[in-house]
Structure 1
Amino acid sequence: MKNRSISIRLILMNFIEFAIWGAYLTSMGSFLADAGLGPKIWLFFATQGFVSIFMPALVGIVADKWVPAQKVLSLCQLLAGIFMIATGLYAMKNGTFIAAANVAADGSGHMVYSALPQFNFTVFYVLYLLSVAFFMPTIAISNSVAYSALEGAGLDAVKAFPPIRVFGTIGFICSMFLVNFLSNSHGVQYQHSYEQFFVSGALSLVLCAYALTMPNCPCKPSDKGASLSESLGLDAFSLFKQRQFAIFFIFSMLLGASLQITNGYANTFITSFKDNPLFAGSWGAANANVLISIGQVSETLCILLIPFAMKKFGIKNVMLIAMFAWVFRFGFFGLGNPGNGVWLFILSGIVYGVAFDFFNISGSLYVNENTDSGIRSSAQGLFMLMTNGLGASIGTWAAGKVVNAFVYIPQAKAAQAGLDPAAVSAAGNWSGAWFTFAAYALVVGVLFAILFKNPAKAKA
């Protein structure tokens, strides 16, 4: 009965944790594009990477050495929620919804957000930056809280955690559906509006309170004779001295470059078909978040395969499967459309579950199983640094360059030439961008297959 209670409590924690992220992660790009900030979408998603370079590691050190992890989780969510709500409030007070011409056959108009003259981009961006700076560490910290609680209950984290983590993805999906189907007083879906920031911020405040009810995660203060590096928790970086861990972290960074690309651009890409007379009235173009959520549904199912996959194939093959799944993820986007090609979007969503889970969750479990308990939170923070930090920031920056070159720069030139909305939209070559990303993932996968050895073989 005790074990069941712990599982239920951790299920709710994971549900809220990822519902916070799902409220804006896949739809923020669409809001920014409508607001005329399409060329800067990369910056907002790269920001999650910038802060993950140092914040998860620093917060992990605090949780390891001085403050119980559940209290650190609560404080971070409090600050993240306050700043996310402030982001939405600033956008609400400094912008408006206006009618925009739609090239749909019925000639109807739709509403888009437009920044007013007094809108200060720097203020808006800094508020968002502060929110994600405190949110990103909570992904690793919530894992530490869960692992500690499961081990305290005498459970095997490798077997017990994946079914619990499934509900994090379910929470993510529920938030996506919420912002897809809810509309504001202007008739604008939350996925295209600043209301998505309010939803995320409110959920952060809920988790702030709930985290304090989690089982205590004891800190492990440094010994009096410990070095400065050990006292600060920096000894997790010593893992780079081990060849296997060094290669693992380097390729975690390279693969992490793929993580935020579809989050940043998929909604914007699918919604852009509204400007194409052939697809303007299609259900898919109007419900991008629902199409994207297929990936999260697949993710939910694939999490349950992780214990089997880890045991059957080993970490190398599991990560290889993830890498080649990214090739198909991007390739299907390049080939699809929300009309007769919508099945390719569906296939892209299906392989996303493999691409994300077989890398992120398996990698986290690999770190947990192969590090000392005294640096476990710090090591999880280091894993976050390499994936959602260096990898995501560099990858999203590069993706922004690619998308701007293939899409936004040609569209800007078309708009300056006075072309109609349909012609402006057609000037962007989204397929070229997606195929470029697919080629990158393929190269990373091939190199990983050559350089990384299975841990069991490495020990032999």
Structure 2
Amino acid sequence: MKSAVRVQLSFMMFLEFFIWGAWFVTLGTFVLKNLQDTNANQVSVAFLTQSIGAVIAPFIVGIIADRFISAQVILGAIHLIGAALLWTCSGMTSFDSFYPVLLVYMILYMPTLALVNSISFRQMSDPSKEFSTIRVFGTFGWIIAGLLIGWLNWEKSNTLGLTFKMAAGASLLLGLFSFTLPKTPPAKKGTEISVKEILGLDAIRMLKNRSYLLFFLASIAICIPLAFYYNFTNPFLNEIGMTAAAGKQSLGQMSEFFFMLVMPLFFVRLGVKKMLALGMLAWVLRYVLFAYGNVDSNYWMLIVGIVLHGICYDFFFVTGQIYTDKLAGEEFKSSAQGFVTLATYGVGMLIGFLISGPIVESYKTASGHNWQGIWLIPAGIAAAVLVLFMLLFQDKTTQKTA
């Protein structure tokens, strides 16, 4: 790959995830503080737009980008429209007007996660070696966004509307920049459209493998407690008095980057089952630490709970993607990844978003929330998934391969 192309792709990834991280981390706090007459239920509904976008995304990418219009052109158009929608969100004070704009935005944004990957892969001769060095700039983008929000003190000053304006500016920049990216014409132009292929349903036959079926169900179940983290970590940290909470949360992405680098060493020594189990155990520990942490003597618990994000995400989701890739075979690799993404970010997190809001609202007190009681619920769910997984999962296929 030419150096100029590498720089282009890296900057594209940086902006793609800077845009998301600039407003998504503090979305719950924005809904509760900047919009009128809102509660935890509205926070869940707002985050639910991600799952809706994840379900619709394969249709946009599979139908339009793969068959009719070049990926870089669609990417540019979406981000230009997205800039206008984000700017509109920044000044809203009513949830009823805010929600439909956010929903439209997420339906448009979620497909861009696949588009930036597609544009990158088409420029690489060996994605397995080259992609990680490009994708890591996305993690940097998310980290920088969080650090900026913390440094500018937008959470404490109750000016989180500025996060949407910052994201809108970055979206406008990426929209214009996208038209300078390497041309990525439709790969399947003129071919017949298959809904099963678009949704990854061709890979459903993998569920005949008992081990993979258990992993698949565990993936859906573990995404339920994950929704609690996305929805309410920032409101929780701000409510208990942590300064620059969004900046502190970026430690999770720093941890994610570190554990991504050391994952190959753990994978060789531990194997699929233990890697997945460690990821789920980290989820249990994270929520227990949140339950008993505070900004005084147990401040360290909050920080460790945030830093555990690297193990929570990498050891479960990345290991799961590798496991899926090994079992899928050449014919269904793409379909299989699409299928598991639809199940986790679509079905699993949708369930989590729907139940987390009412649970948090039921623990509301005169002075805020009973956060200890709240966090022990996702901890219990993750612990139950872990125990069942350890008792039932047997990775016979990869054992034979080894």
Q: Tell me, yes or no, if structure 1 residue 236 matches structure 2 residue 226.
A: no
Q: Is the 8 A contact 2:199 2:339 kept in 1?
A: no
Tell whether the 8 Å contact from 1:73 to 1:208 is kept in structure 2 after alignment: yes
Change (3 A) 1:148 1:390: same
1:451 equivalent to 2:397? Answer no
- CA gap of 1:349–1:176, structure 2 versus 1, over 3 A, is same
1:14-25 equivalences in 2 (<5 Å): 14-25=13-24
Aligned match of 1:350: 307
Counterpart contact for 1:61–1:378, Cα < 8 Å: no
Q: CA deviation at 1:321?
A: 2.1
State the shift of 1:200 in Å: 1.5
Shift of 1:436: 0.9
Partner of 1:70: 72
Give, in whole Å, the separation in 1 of the partners of 2:67 and 2:340. Answer: 18
Deviation at 1:260, TM superposition (A): 3.4
Selected match of 1:383 from 328, 334, 340: 340
Residues 149 and 247 in structure 2, CA contact (< 8 A), matched pair in contact too: no
The one-letter amino acid paired with 1:229 is S
Task: Note the C-alpha offset of 1:222.
Answer: 7.1
Closer, same or farther in 2 for the Cα pair 1:135/1:235, shift >3 Å? closer
Q: Distance in 2 between matches of 1:65 and 1:382?
A: 20
Q: Deviations over 1:303-335 (max 9, x none)?
A: 212344444444443332221111111111111
The equivalent residue for 1:439 is: 380
For residue 173 of structure 2, the aligned residue among 196, 206, 226 is 206
Alignment partners' CA distance in 1, 2:322 and 2:64: 21
What TM-score, normalized to structure 1? 0.77
Residues 321, 13 of structure 1: alpha-carbon distance in 2 compared, 3 angstrom cutoff: farther
The offset of 1:159, in angstroms, is 3.6
Q: Look up the match of 1:175.
A: 145
Does the 8 Å CA contact 1:80/1:133 hold for their aligned counterparts?
no
| DSSP 3-state at the match of 1:221 | coil
Matched-pair identity in % = 28
Change (3 A) 1:140 1:376: farther
Kindly state the Cα deviation for residue 10 of structure 1 after the two structures are TM-superposed: 2.8
Instruction: Work out whether 1:13 is the aligned partner of 2:48.
Output: no
Q: Answer whether contact 1:331 1:434 (CA < 8 A) is retained.
A: yes
Conserved 8 A contact 2:222-2:348:
yes
| CA distance in structure 2 between the partners assigned to 1:202 and 1:247 by the alignment | 43
Q: Report the TM-score when normalising by structure 2.
A: 0.87
- The offset of 1:434, in angstroms, is 0.6
Q: CA deviation at 1:262?
A: 1.8
359, 362, 372: which is aligned to 1:402?
359
Q: 2:61, 2:114 within 8 Å by CA — same for their partners in 1? A: no
1:244-283 Cα offsets, whole Å, 9 max, x none, are 4554443332222233322221111111124xxxxxxxxx
Q: Are 2:246 and 1:252 equivalent residues in the alignment?
A: no
Match of 2:123, SS state, is helix
2:99 is aligned, of 125, 133, 137, to 125
Aligned partners of 2:199 and 2:338 also within 8 Å: no
The alpha-carbon deviation at position 189 of structure 1 amounts to 3.8
From the superposition, tell whether residues 69 and 343 of structure 1 become closer, same or farther in structure 2 (CA, over 3 Å): same
Question: What does 1:327-338 align with in structure 2 at a 5 Å threshold?
Answer: 327-338=284-295
In structure 1, the gaps of 5 or more residues are: 92-114, 275-284, 415-423
Equivalent position amino acid for 2:130 in 1: A
Aligned with 2:200: secondary structure? helix
Quote the RMSD (CA, aligned, Å): 2.9
| Contact 1:166-1:304 within 8 A present in 2 as well | no
Distance 2:372 2:26 in 1: 20
How far did 1:370 drift? 5.9
Alignment of 1:13-52 (within 5 A): 13-35=12-34, 36-39=37-40, 40-52=42-54
5 Å matches for 1:117-156?
Answer: 119=94, 121-150=95-124, 154-155=125-126
Shift in CA distance, 64/319, structure 1 to aligned 2, threshold 3 Å: farther
Cα offset, 1:432, TM superposition? 0.9
Deviation, 1:54, is: 2.4
Q: Secondary structure at the match of 2:296?
A: coil
Cα distance in 1, alignment partners of residues 182 and 274 from structure 2: 35
Paired residues of 1:64 and 1:378 also in contact (CA < 8 A): no
